[in-house]
């Protein structure tokens, strides 16, 4: 009796080990998930460790490629195809920091994003002083917009432009084109136009006023209350959605700023990035598995091919065309509502995903190469951190021919590319990659190790217990037969057994 009790105990313990091993195999990853969630929301939830959100965990750079027009006069006077030369890259390293950080009670944090740009001559081909010839965006915006206005307004515009000597192409330095130059038309508009329609600046530059702390107040989720919203935008200047478009889905900016995402992504996850200048949130879907620096595996997300498709090809895009049809052609996104009604169309570089006729309307633009011109972001799916990214966008001006304005009478309807840029996140600081390496490799190893030990212990104990039970059983049989033959008492047997043992 006493003996089988002991063996039963051993069996119970070994079965316990085996069960625990199974539990580890099945649930270990969920425990890791809980720990990661805790660590992540803890990191954003306290000011001293706000670093991961305070400063971007990655070093961003922006590489700008400018289309220099080399035959502006022949294009205007002889009607020849415009010839452009792609210059660059002009490289700026960026420093991002979140300023004026306030933690709110509801699991969100508000801040103003500071971005500083530093020209990196060593990586650039050319300097900020290079002189380029590009379409005069303020002028061509004004003339294109006047297309449907009264004729006398267009004639008035023509004489003003005559007096101010405004030409359809400007010769500016790269630094001026990006960071601003004084534009006579904007200066005039500032003095003349009624206050409420006024443009806020008298300088024009494609990145004018971007070097510094943004006036936009961003509120994002810290994940403390709901980890599935970690890093997503809650409010932008107090607003919870855009109002340009026709549906809630298209007006939503529930999206990331591009550096951090909700953890635990699958291949089915659609991630979203919001940027003010993109004028919408951009969806990205899983494309393939990649291996980043330090052998960290990640997922590559890229915009779906029909993201900027015309409404005929992708009826979901109808919501982005509130005043259409006609709507933007396939491969373009109309951001004029976010750009003071300038006819700016965004596309991917070299008109990737657009009809090739836009590219061949000019000379000097090579065919789009997905490797060089597509937009993608690699993330570590468990942590939801961006490992590397290439956000590539081309800025185009959709010019409409206006024959009444003599300066631009010969400027045909054309989608004129100005420049394209690649905002990249390249290298992660070492401590981030090692943390991500740990998140990737340690949990599976720990799980395998722990469950292996538990299974081994359980199995050994079980074998021992069974062996002893079997041996004990033989003894019981033997004892039983000897009792029958020798007619001895059980007490004697136990004594003899104990002596043998």
Ligand X SMILES: *[C@@H]1O[C@H](CO)[C@@H](O)[C@H](O)[C@H]1NC(C)=O
**DSSP-derived pairing of the beta strands 376-380 and 344-347:** unpaired
> Exposure of 231 by Cβ count < 10 A (0-12 exposed, 13-18 middle, 19+ buried)?
buried
**DSSP-derived pairing of the beta strands 233-236 and 203-204:** unpaired
Provide the β-strand partners of residue 93: 61, 118
Phi-psi region of 296 (alpha: psi -120 to 50; beta: other; left: phi over 0): beta
Q: Which stretch binds ligand X (CB under 6 A): 44-52, 158-166, 254-262, 323-331?
A: 323-331
Give the rounded distance of the alpha carbon of 174 from its chain centre: 28
Q: Binding to ligand X by residue 336, rule CB under 6 A?
A: yes
The residue from 25, 81, 112, 190 that contacts ligand X (CB under 6 A) is 112
CB of 199 to ligand X, least distance (A): 16
The residue among 56 and 435 lying less far from ligand X, judged by its C-beta, is 56
Q: Binding to ligand X by residue 15, rule CB under 6 A?
A: no
Asked whether the CA dihedral 319, 321, 322, 326 is positive or negative, the reply is negative
> x/- string (CB under 6 A) for ligand X, residues 45-84?
-----------------------xxx---x---x-x----
* Of 250, 276, 274, 263, residue with least CA distance to 222: 263
CB of 191 to ligand X, least distance (A): 26
Q: Binding to ligand X by residue 30, rule CB under 6 A?
A: no
HEC string of 213-253 equals: EEEEEEEEECCCCCHHHCCCEEEECCECECCCCCCHHHHEC
Kindly state the tokens that stand for 94.
């960026």
The residue from 53, 56, 84, 133 that contacts ligand X (CB under 6 A) is 133
Q: Binding to ligand X by residue 352, rule CB under 6 A?
A: no
CB of 413 to ligand X, least distance (A): 10
Q: Binding to ligand X by residue 243, rule CB under 6 A?
A: yes
Kindly state the tokens that stand for 444.
């599976």
The residue from 172, 265, 328, 465 that contacts ligand X (CB under 6 A) is 328
Q: Binding to ligand X by residue 127, rule CB under 6 A?
A: no
Neighbouring CB atoms inside 10 A of 453's CB total: 13
* Distance, CA of 241 to CA of 235 (rounded, Å): 8
> Exposure of 459 by Cβ count < 10 A (0-12 exposed, 13-18 middle, 19+ buried)?
middle
* Distance, CA of 46 to CA of 40 (rounded, Å): 11
> x/- string (CB under 6 A) for ligand X, residues 363-392?
------------------------------
Are 397 and 64 in contact by the 8 Å Cβ rule? The answer is no
Q: Binding to ligand X by residue 211, rule CB under 6 A?
A: yes
Q: Binding to ligand X by residue 121, rule CB under 6 A?
A: no
The residue from 49, 104, 270, 441 that contacts ligand X (CB under 6 A) is 104
Q: Cα-flanking dihedrals φ and ψ of residue 92, to 5°?
A: -120, 130
The residue among 161 and 398 lying less far from ligand X, judged by its C-beta, is 398
The residue among 210 and 497 lying less far from ligand X, judged by its C-beta, is 210
The residue among 44 and 433 lying less far from ligand X, judged by its C-beta, is 44
The residue from 7, 94, 183, 234 that contacts ligand X (CB under 6 A) is 234
The residue from 15, 337, 361, 409 that contacts ligand X (CB under 6 A) is 337
The residue among 121 and 369 lying less far from ligand X, judged by its C-beta, is 121
The residue from 121, 216, 248, 313 that contacts ligand X (CB under 6 A) is 248
Q: Binding to ligand X by residue 240, rule CB under 6 A?
A: yes
Helix (H) or strand (E) holding 77: helix 72-77
Q: Which stretch binds ligand X (CB under 6 A): 10-18, 37-45, 111-119, 299-307?
A: 111-119
Looking up tokens 């099945």 gives 26
Q: Which stretch binds ligand X (CB under 6 A): 148-156, 329-337, 374-382, 424-432?
A: 329-337
CA angle 75, 335, 270 (to 5 degrees): 125
The residue among 116 and 466 lying less far from ligand X, judged by its C-beta, is 116
Q: Binding to ligand X by residue 342, rule CB under 6 A?
A: no
Are 146 and 156 in contact by the 8 Å Cβ rule? The answer is no
CB of 130 to ligand X, least distance (A): 4
Residues near ligand X (CB under 6 A): 68-70, 74, 78, 80, 87, 100, 104, 106, 108, 112, 116-119, 126, 130-133, 179, 211, 219, 234-235, 239-241, 243, 248, 251, 266, 268, 322-323, 326-328, 334, 336-337, 343, 355, 357, 398
């Amino acid at each position: 009796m006493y003996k089988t009790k002991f063996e039963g105990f051993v069996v119970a313990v070994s079965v316990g080990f085996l069960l625990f091993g199974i539990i580890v195999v099945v649930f270990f990853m969920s425990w890791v998930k809980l720990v990661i969630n805790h660590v992540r929301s803890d990191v954003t939830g306290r000011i001293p460790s706000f670093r991961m959100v305070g400063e971007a965990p990655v070093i961003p750079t922006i590489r700008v490629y400018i289309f220099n027009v080399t035959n502006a006069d022949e294009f205007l006077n002889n009607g020849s195809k415009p010839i452009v030369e792609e210059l660059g890259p002009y490289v700026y390293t960026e420093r991002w920091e979140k300023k004026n950080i306030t933690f709110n009670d509801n699991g969100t944090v508000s801040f103003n994003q500071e971005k500083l740009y530093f020209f990196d001559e060593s990586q650039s081909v050319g300097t900020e002083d290079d002189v380029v010839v590009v379409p005069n965006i303020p002028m061509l915006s004004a003339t294109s917009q006047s297309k449907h206005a009264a004729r006398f307004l267009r004639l008035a515009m023509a004489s003003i432009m005559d007096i101010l000597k405004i030409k359809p192409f400007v010769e500016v330095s790269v630094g001026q084109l990006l960071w601003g130059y004084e534009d006579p038309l904007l200066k005039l508009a500032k003095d003349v136009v009624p206050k409420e329609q006024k443009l806020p600046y008298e300088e024009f530059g494609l990145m004018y006023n971007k070097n510094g702390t943004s006036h936009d107040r961003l509120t994002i989720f810290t994940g403390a209350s709901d980890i599935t919203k970690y890093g997503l935008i809650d409010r932008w200047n107090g607003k919870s959605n855009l109002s340009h478009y026709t549906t809630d889905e298209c007006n939503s900016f529930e999206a990331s700023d591009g550096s951090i995402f909700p953890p635990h992504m699958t291949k089915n996850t659609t991630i979203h990035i919001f940027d003010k200048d993109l004028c919408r949130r951009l969806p990205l879907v899983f494309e393939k598995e990649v291996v980043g620096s330090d052998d960290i595996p990640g997922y590559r997300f890229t915009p779906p091919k029909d993201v900027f498709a015309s409404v005929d090809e992708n009826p979901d895009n109808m919501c982005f065309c509130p005043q259409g049809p006609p709507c933007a052609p396939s491969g373009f996104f109309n951001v004029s509502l976010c750009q003071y009604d300038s006819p700016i169309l965004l596309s991917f570089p070299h008109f990737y995903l657009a009809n090739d006729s836009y590219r061949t309307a000019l000379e000097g633009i090579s065919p789009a190469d997905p490797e060089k011109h597509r937009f993608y972001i690699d993330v570590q799916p468990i942590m939801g951190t961006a490992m590397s990214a290439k956000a590539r966008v081309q800025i185009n001006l959709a010019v409409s021919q206006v024959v009444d304005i003599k300066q631009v009478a010969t400027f045909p309807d054309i989608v004129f590319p100005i420049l394209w840029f690649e905002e990249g996140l390249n290298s992660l600081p070492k401590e981030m990659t090692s943390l991500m390496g740990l998140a990737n490799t340690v949990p599976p190893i720990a799980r395998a190790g722990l469950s292996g030990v538990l299974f081994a212990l359980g199995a050994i104990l079980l074998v021992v217990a069974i062996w002893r039970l079997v041996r004990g059983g033989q003894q019981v049989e033997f004892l039983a037969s000897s009792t029958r033959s020798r007619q001895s008492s059980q007490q004697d047997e136990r004594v003899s057994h104990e002596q043998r043992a």
